[in-house]
Structure formats: C-alpha cells, structure tokens
C-alpha cells in the first residue's frame, strides 16, 4: 500500500569549502501516515536507523522508534519500507503483543529510543537490529538493556529476540541501577575478526567515583546475538581519558571509518557535559581508538578548532550524533550533531549542524544547518524539524548524494514525525585539485531528449574535455570541446546526469546537472 505524507519543497543552500550543496526538498512522514494510531501512540521519530534493503526493492529502509503498544508494556518501533521519494510504501509495527514480540518491557523502559542495524549476523538472510531500552527494569533494579532481534519482512514478524542486560544474553558484567545502558547503540563492525559484527552500547548514567560520568560497553557477539565477551570503557577502567562527573560519556556514539588512515577502527562519542565554563555545558565529541589500548585521538569542541565562533553559539555538543558518509568528497566521513541549547538568534532552541572532518581528525568546515535564515520556514517550530535522533549514510532518492533524516518526536503534540532532508550535492564527482568555476560554458536545452549543446561563453576559446557522469559518478560519455560550440548525442536512459567540462591546462572545471527525458 502507498501511504500519504507531507511533502515540502524549496531550495536551500549552504557553503562548504567553496562548493555548493543544496537542499532541494524535504519529505516528512508522521506516525499517522504509517499506522492507524491509537490515543497512547506518541513520539514517532524517537530513534532512526538505516537497516539496508529489507524488502529487496533496491531502496534503503528504516527502523523508527516510538511510544506505542499497551501502556503496561510501552514502547516499540516501526520497520518502514520507502520509495525513492521518501514515501512510506509499507510498514511493520513492533510492540508488545504484535509482530511476534512478547518480551515484557514495562511502562517506562524507553524501548525504541535508540536503534541500529547489525547486518546479517548468522547468514540466514535476515537483518538483525538492536533496539535500546535504557530504563528497563531487570530484577530489582533499573539498569537498562538492549534487545537484539531478526527482521523477517516476508512474514512481518521479529524472530530470535535476545535481551542483553544483567544476567541476560550471555552478558557477565554488572550494570548499576540508573546507568541508562542502551541510551545509544551502534554497530562497530567485526572488531575481533570472528566473522560476526559487534556492538557498542552507551550508558551515560553510569556513576563510579562521581555522578553520571558515563560509560561505553563494547559487546563482542556470537552469531546468535548473545554476548561472548565485553569491554567496559569508564572512568575507572580507562583513567587516562579523565572522564569527569556529569560528563555523560556515551550519551551518543557512532562508529566511523578510519579517519587518520592508520588501519584502526575509531568511534565518536558524545560527551554533552564534557566542557563546562561558567556554569554552561558546551559539551564535546571525543574520537577514540579502541582497537588495543583505548586512546582519545581528538576532542572536538569550541576551543579546539578554527570554528570557535560557530561552536561558541552552541551548548550540549554531543547530545546527538549521526555519521553522514562523505558529504564533501574528501575521502573522510562527515557527521551531523544535535545541540539542544543553540543560541544562533536571541531564542535558545534546538539546532543541527554538519561537521566536515579532516584526515587530521579535526574540523575542516562546519555549517549550523538549522541556523540559516529562512531555510525551514515550512516548519512552525524547530521542534517539528529535529531532535537528538538523526540518521545518515543513506541515499533515499538514488541521486548519488547522501541524504539526512531528522527525527522530531515532539511534532503535533508529540505524535512525532521524521523529516528527510534531500541534498543535491556534487562533491562526489568534484575534482579537488582543480578550481571549480561557473559561467565558462552554457549547456542547453535542459531538460533534453539527449541532444545537448555546450558553448563557451567568452571570446577566448579554450580546449577542454567533456565527461558525462551518472549519479553514481560513472562516466557514460566523453567528448572534446575545441571550438566555440559542440553538440552531444547522448544514448543513455532517462534520468539525472552531470556534465563535467575540464580545462586540464589551466586547472579548472565546470560541473552542471542535466536531466535526460
């Protein structure tokens, strides 16, 4: 079935290292678009995770957390299959008593407010997901927990449900009361090289010699989803990190590709209480290497970068985090951060910023996305647009540019919605060593039937090479431009393409998007 949604279109723009990345559209899905909600169903968008293509249609799908199900066992999530426009075409609702989920979670467990995919752990063709329940009661305390389960889309049910917490799921550690174990979760790949992906779990409420210093647990998993070993990173086990009181280390956590090309796995951990100045929690992000001895490779905060003025306007950095993939085309993955006390204008409100990372594990560039004047005028409030729940590294509309998904669980009196921010960037087919210019050549008509004319606009004719690329950056046609004007006959399927005109002698190029109908 095709489910309705709100579609808002506009053209938004922000600058990255002299390159232009546009937000060409925003699609929003609210909870009532995917299910006939009941009165107690709230906070759709409480978590978001990309889980790959569960229905095998070539388009990535999502897990979205919400407060759903009976109030005695409150919490759950939706598996949502999408089309290329960000429309929900089918869904599966997972809560107590539905879709084969029968684990007791209680009233205020937070089940569904963190999520990630682990891929296919046991090679049975099913995707495994992890759903956090950071206030879950286990025994006589409230340590929190995470549920690992398989998504069987064909039968619309979950299978092989495993709870990981105290005395559950093979976990042999001791999680204290109110640790918020499961507040954040992320897949970390196969750290121990046993062929099974492993898991990192944040516990920002863990207290050792202080209060709420926080912790991260690395769980080494068996193929059946149980824990075979674990590593605890907290104030006592890793004193060199200097985790202080109220740091809330582990509030957010993401695995990221090797930033400094040393062959080791790295993590970015949110520490929203990590830098307090004059009573204000600026917060920070820590980049950690955990492959052998735990090392902090970098602290990203308002005094450790060239973007202090931008970061100075934000507070509680590290309260929300998502890896976006390589947005700016420099070979390094980039991130989005959420801050709940941004002071871009006279009003203090939520903000999402995009951080472009460098190979030296610093901030190469940044943009406070929600601080752009007029950018999101279609939203009545920034709380309808974003919260700490975000997801990236997914190309929803298959245009070759990675997009961003923002959760807004407070939308419409806490019904909740998710917002797809479609980027129309060209960074993945840029030429970093050349200067990108404009108004050197014109390309017409656009759209076309495949026949296009390329004409140099100036009086001086420059020899150049022409490349036509598809949205994945693959060259599908080449030609030369030696005269004022040349015509191309493109024998390609209908769709979006890029024309790249290159002057190698002078080190410059022009890049234009075209549509073939």
pLDDT of residue 304: 55
Quickly count: other Cβ atoms within 10 Å of residue 451's Cβ.
11
Helix or strand holding residue 308 (H, E): helix 308-312
- What span, in angstroms and rounded, lies between the C-alpha atoms of 502 and 467? 8
Per-residue pLDDT of the chain (517 residues; tens, 9 = 90+): 223 232 222 223 333 333 345 566 678 899 999 988 888 899 999 999 999 889 988 888 999 999 999 989 999 999 999 887 778 889 999 999 999 999 999 999 999 999 999 999 999 999 999 999 999 999 889 999 999 999 999 999 999 999 999 999 999 999 999 999 999 999 999 999 999 999 999 999 999 987 999 999 999 999 999 999 999 999 999 999 999 999 999 999 999 988 877 777 789 999 998 877 666 677 889 999 887 788 888 888 765 555 555 565 566 788 899 998 887 767 788 898 887 655 444 455 677 888 888 888 888 777 776 655 455 666 776 677 788 899 988 877 766 677 889 999 989 889 999 998 877 655 556 676 788 888 899 999 988 999 999 999 887 778 899 999 876 667 899 999 888 899 999 998 887 788 999 998 889 988 888 888 8
Confidence at residue 209, expressed as pLDDT on a 0 to 100 scale: 83
Identify whether the C-beta of residue 269 lies closer than 8 Å to the C-beta of residue 286. Answer: yes
Token pair 């279609």 is found at 378
Q: 35-46: b or e for each residue (b if 16 or more CB lie within 10 Å)? A: bebeeebbbbbb
What residues form DSSP beta bridges with 117? 129
Q: In angstroms, rounded to a whole number, what is the distance separating the alpha carbons of residues 446 and 453?
A: 10
- CA nearest 513: which of 398, 423, 424, 450? 424
H helix or E strand, kind and range, residue 181: none
Q: Which of 16, 8, 10 is nearest to 324 (CA)?
A: 16
Q: Give the number of other CB atoms < 10 A from CB of residue 1.
A: 6
Domains in the chain with CATH codes: 22-424 (2.130.10.130), 435-516 (2.60.40.3080)
């Amino acid at each position: 079935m095709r489910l309705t949604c709100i579609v808002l279109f506009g053209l938004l723009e922000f600058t990255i290292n002299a390159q232009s990345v546009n937000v060409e559209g925003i699609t929003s899905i609210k909870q009532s678009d995917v299910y006939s909600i009941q009165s107690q169903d709230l906070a759709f968008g409480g978590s978001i995770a990309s889980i790959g293509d569960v229905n095998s249609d070539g388009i990535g799908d999502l897990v979205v957390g919400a407060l759903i199900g009976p109030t005695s066992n409150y919490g759950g999530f939706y598996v949502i299959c999408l089309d290329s426009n960000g429309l929900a075409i089918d869904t599966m609702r997972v809560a107590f008593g539905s879709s084969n989920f029968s684990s007791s979670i209680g009233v205020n467990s937070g089940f569904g407010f963190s999520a990630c995919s682990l891929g296919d752990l046991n090679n049975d063709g099913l995707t495994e997901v992890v759903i956090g329940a950071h206030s879950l009661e286990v025994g006589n305390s409230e340590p929190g927990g995470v549920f690992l389960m398989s998504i069987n889309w064909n039968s619309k049910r979950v299978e092989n449900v495993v709870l990981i917490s105290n005395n559950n799921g093979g976990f042999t550690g001791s999680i204290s009361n109110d640790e918020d174990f499961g507040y954040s979760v992320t897949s970390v790949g196969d750290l121990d090289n046993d062929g099974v992906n492993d898991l990192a779990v944040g516990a920002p409420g863990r207290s050792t010699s202080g209060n709420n210093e926080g912790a991260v647990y690395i769980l080494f998993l068996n193929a059946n989803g149980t824990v075979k070993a674990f590593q605890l990173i907290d104030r006592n086990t890793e004193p060199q990190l200097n985790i202080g009181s109220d740091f809330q280390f582990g509030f957010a956590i993401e695995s990221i590709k090797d930033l400094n090309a040393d062959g080791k796995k790295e993590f970015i951990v949110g520490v929203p209480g990590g830098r307090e100045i004059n009573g204000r929690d600026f917060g920070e992000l820590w980049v950690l290497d955990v492959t052998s001895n735990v090392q902090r490779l970098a602290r990203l905060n308002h005094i450790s970068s060239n973007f202090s003025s931008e970061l100075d306007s934000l507070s509680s950095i590290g309260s929300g985090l998502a890896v976006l993939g390589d947005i700016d085309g420099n070979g390094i993955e980039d991130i989005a951060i959420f801050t709940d006390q941004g002071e871009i204008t006279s009003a203090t409100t939520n903000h999402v910023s995009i951080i472009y990372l460098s190979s030296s594990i610093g901030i190469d560039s940044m943009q406070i996305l929600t601080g752009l004047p007029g950018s999101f005028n279609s939203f009545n409030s920034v709380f309808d647009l974003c919260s700490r729940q975000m997801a990236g590294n997914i190309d929803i509309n298959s245009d070759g540019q990675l997009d961003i998904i923002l959760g807004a669980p407070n939308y419409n009196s806490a019904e909740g919605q998710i917002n797809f921010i479609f980027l129309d960037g060209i960074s993945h087919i840029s030429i970093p060593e050349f200067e990108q210019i404009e108004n050197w050549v014109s390309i017409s008509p656009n759209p076309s039937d495949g026949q296009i004319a390329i004409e140099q606009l100036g009086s001086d004719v420059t020899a150049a090479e022409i490349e036509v690329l598809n949205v994945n950056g693959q060259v599908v046609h080449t030609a030369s431009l030696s005269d004022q004007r040349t015509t191309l006959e493109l024998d390609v399927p209908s769709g979006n393409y890029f024309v790249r005109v290159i002057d190698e002698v002078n080190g410059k190029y022009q890049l234009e998007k075209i549509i073939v109908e």
